[in-house]
Structure 1
Amino acid sequence: MYMLTIILLTLRTTNVFAGILGDGRKQSVAVSGHLLCNEKPAANIRLKLYDKEILLDYKLDEGKTDSSGAFYLRGSKKEITNIDPKLNIYHKCNYSGPCVKKLSIIIPDEYITESSTPQLVFNIGTINLAGMISGEEIDCIN
C-alpha cells in the first residue's frame, strides 16, 4: 500500500509539473540493425521500440525484420523529462518453447533528438540470435 501511495504521488507531481510547464518537449529516436539466426537472415522477427516508464512502457513504434533480417524503427513522444528508449526483439531462434525469447537493448541518450524527426540512427549492428545473449529472457506476454 505504501509503494502504491508513493507511485500515485509521483504521478500526480509529474502531472502538476506538466500543467505548469506545458506538455513537455517533442523527442524522437530511431534504431536500425540486422538480425541473424544461425548465421542466416532472421526474417519476420518482431520488434518494438519503447519509452521506458515507471509502470507501463509507452510504445513508440513496432515492426518486423525484412527478408534480409534488416529493420528500421522510429518514434517520437512529448515528455518533460528525457525519454528512455529501448528496443525489444522477440524471437524463437533455436528455441521451441511455448513463449518467445526477448532481448532488450537500451538506446543511448545521445541518439535522442529534440524534434519529431530523428536526426541520428542508433545502429545495433548485426546480432546473431542463435547464441546465449546476456540479458535475454523468456516472454509469454508481449
Structure 2
Amino acid sequence: MKLLVVIFAFFAGAHALLFGLIGSEQSAAVTGRLTCNGAPARNVRVKLYEKEATLDVLLDEGTTDANGEFSLQGHKTEVSTIDPKLNIYHKCNYNGMCYQKSSLTVPDNYVSEGATPTKTFNVGTINLANQFSGDSTDCIN
C-alpha cells in the first residue's frame, strides 16, 4: 500500500510539473528597431521564445512596423528562471528560398515575476546586414 501511495505521489508531482501547477509565473518583454543597410526593415517576422531542452515554447510573435520597430512580451509558468530568446527572420542581403535567422538571448535580469513584465529588454537598433555568430537559415518559421 505504501508503495502505491509513493508511486501515485510521484506521478501526481510529474503531472503537476508538466502542466504548470508547480513553479511561478514569469514574463519577459523585448523591444527594438531593425534596419537593413540603414533603411527600416519593414515587415520582418520576430518571435519571442522560452528556450527548452527539446522544443522551444512560443511566447509572442509579430512583425516590424514601417519604422522597423517591434515590441513583444510573453509569460510562462516555470520551476526555474525562464530563458527567453528573440528570433529574427529576415531576407536582408539574402536571396535564398528560406530566411536568415538571428537569435538574441534576453538576460536573466530582464525576467519579471508575474504575467506582466515590469522591465523591457531594448535590443537597440540592429542592422540586419551584419553577420552574427550563430546565424542560420530557417524555412519553417
TM-score under structure 2 normalisation? 0.86
Deviation at 1:61, TM superposition (A): 0.2
- 1:28-77: CA deviations, max 9, x gaps? 00000000001000010000100001111000000000000000000001
The runs of at least 4 consecutive aligned structure 1 residues that moved more than 3 Å come to none
The DSSP-based 3-state class of the residue aligned with 2:113 is coil
Whole-angstrom CA distance in 2 between matches of 1:22 and 1:141: 31
Residue 76 of structure 2 corresponds to residue 77 of structure 1: yes
Whole-angstrom CA distance in 2 between matches of 1:74 and 1:96: 30
Aligned length: 130
In structure 1, give the amino acid aligned to 2:51: K
**Structure (1 or 2) with the larger CA radius of gyration:** 2
* Structure-2 residue corresponding to 1:31: 30
* Structure-2 residue corresponding to 1:67: 66
Deviation at 1:91, TM superposition (A): 0.2
* Structure-1 residue corresponding to 2:7: none
In structure 2, give the amino acid aligned to 1:51: E
Whole-angstrom CA distance in 2 between matches of 1:17 and 1:77: 14
* Structure-1 residue corresponding to 2:94: 95
The DSSP-based 3-state class of the residue aligned with 1:95 is coil
The answer as to whether partners of 2:16 and 2:22 remain within 8 angstroms in 1 is no
Residue 57 of structure 2 corresponds to residue 58 of structure 1: yes
Whole-angstrom CA distance in 2 between matches of 1:15 and 1:47: 33
The DSSP-based 3-state class of the residue aligned with 1:18 is helix
Deviation at 1:17, TM superposition (A): 7.0
Whole-angstrom CA distance in 2 between matches of 1:108 and 1:119: 14
Deviation at 1:82, TM superposition (A): 1.0
* Structure-2 residue corresponding to 1:113: 112
In structure 1, give the amino acid aligned to 2:99: V
Whole-angstrom CA distance in 2 between matches of 1:35 and 1:128: 6
Deviation at 1:23, TM superposition (A): 2.7
Residue 121 of structure 2 corresponds to residue 122 of structure 1: yes
TM-score under structure 1 normalisation? 0.85
Which consecutive residues of structure 1, in runs of 5 or more, have no partner in the other structure?
1-11
Which consecutive residues of structure 2, in runs of 5 or more, have no partner in the other structure?
1-10
- % same residue: 53
